[in-house]
Amino acid sequence: MSPERSPRAFDWRISLPVMAIVLLAALAIAIVSAQPIIVTADHAALEAMKQIRTPARDDLAIALTQLGDPDVAWPVSIAMVLWLATLGRSPQAAIFYAVTVGGAAALNSLIKVLFTRARPNTFDYEGFTAFSFPSGHATSNIVLYGTLAILITREIAPRHRAPFAALLVAFGALIGLSRIYLGAHWMSDVAGSALLATAILSVAAYWYASAPRPQVSPARLSTVAVISLIIFGGANILRNHQADAARYAVEQAAAAPHTQRGGNDDDNRTYRQIGTPRANPPG
């Protein structure tokens, strides 16, 4: 009598990207068909963010968004690719990083053009960046720092891998959340970005794990990433913070009749697209 076959173990490398893609497709269909649950949740999240806005929180959210701008994400990515290919002596890792991050940005832009979803507020966006679904900031930065996590966690002790990866991905996710807070994206846009990034990173992790092991110094690569982020992110914040504060600000609209009879004045906050907005702001 032959021994009983044990059930096949759950393989996240296949199941996770498939589940993420299925959920992303379901979300996209719900958005296109304007399902009430999506419309209601998006508007509720947008209004909830308006109610908790303060000058200090605005400054923090704007700084996070600016750290995720293409003006920062691309130079940081290029710096890491160049270091990996030259001083890091890991051309395979450089190719892996460039293909994963560049591919994610290209795929996100393609989906934007296919769905042409309007943003909650225009904020002077032009071209394909005027479209809302999915969020370019969220997708690009979750994948950027998630790919960095894939490269580094392979080289560090197992007990440090999960916390380190969670920290990097959380930073990218915070950039995505800042887009909802500032009214630049619907909540479902950022949810779609998270699903898209999950699918991309799952495939990338499987690809990298099955490839010949390139030698990468986690300490040096982390240093390159941090220094690049400080230089390019700091410059972007110093150069554009005032203009972006004007772009993303909210003002008190004239009180509606029901508000005058005792309603909540906060319900009349609107985004004021005034001031000196940046020319061709990044999406």
User: If you write DSSP's letter for every residue of 52-91 in order, what string do you get?
Assistant: T--HHHHHHHHHHHHHTSHHHHHHHHHHHHHHHHTTT--H
Quick check: 259 pLDDT over 70? no
Confirm whether 170 is domain-assigned.
Answer: yes
Whether residue 241 lies inside any domain: the answer is yes
Q: For helices 158-181 and 136-153, what crossing angle results, to 10°?
A: 170
Whether 23 is in a domain gets the answer: no
How many residues would you count in the chain?
A: 283
Q: Is residue 113 in some structural domain?
A: yes
Distance CA 194, CA 176 (A): 9
Task: Examine residue 189 and state whether it is found in any structural domain, yes or no.
Answer: yes
Look at residue 283 in the predicted model and tell me its pLDDT: 60
Percentage above 70 pLDDT, the chain? 84
pLDDT tens readout for residues 177-207: 999 999 999 999 999 999 999 999 999 998 8
The pLDDT of residue 130: 85
Count structural domains, the chain. Answer: 1
Determine, yes or no, domain membership for 141.
Answer: yes
Q: Fill in the amino acid letter for 225.
A: A
Distance CA 213, CA 226 (A): 24
CATH number at residue 230: 1.20.144
Give the model's confidence band at 95: pLDDT under 50 very low, under 70 low, under 90 confident, else very high: very high
**Is 2 a residue whose pLDDT tops 60?**
no
Rg over alpha carbons for the chain, rounded to the nearest Å, is 21
Per the prediction, the chain carries an average pLDDT of 85
Nearest by Cα to 74 from 218, 180, 198, 233: 233
The pLDDT, as a whole number, for residue 63 is: 96
Q: What is the pLDDT of residue 14?
A: 78
Whether 68 maps to a domain, the answer reads yes
> What are the tens digits of pLDDT across the range 43-58?
999 999 999 999 999 9
Residue 52 lies in a domain: no
Residue of higher predicted confidence among 13 and 98:
98
Is residue 128 predicted with pLDDT exceeding 50?
yes
Say what the pLDDT of residue 198 is: 95
Q: Would you say residue 252 has pLDDT above 80?
A: no
The boundaries of the domain holding residue 243 are 58-250+264-271
For residues 151 and 46, give the distance between their C-alpha atoms in angstroms, rounded to a whole number.
36
In whole angstroms, what is the distance from residue 252 CA to residue 199 CA?
Answer: 41
pLDDT on residue 230: 97
- pLDDT for res 199: 96
Residue 256 has pLDDT above 80, yes or no: no
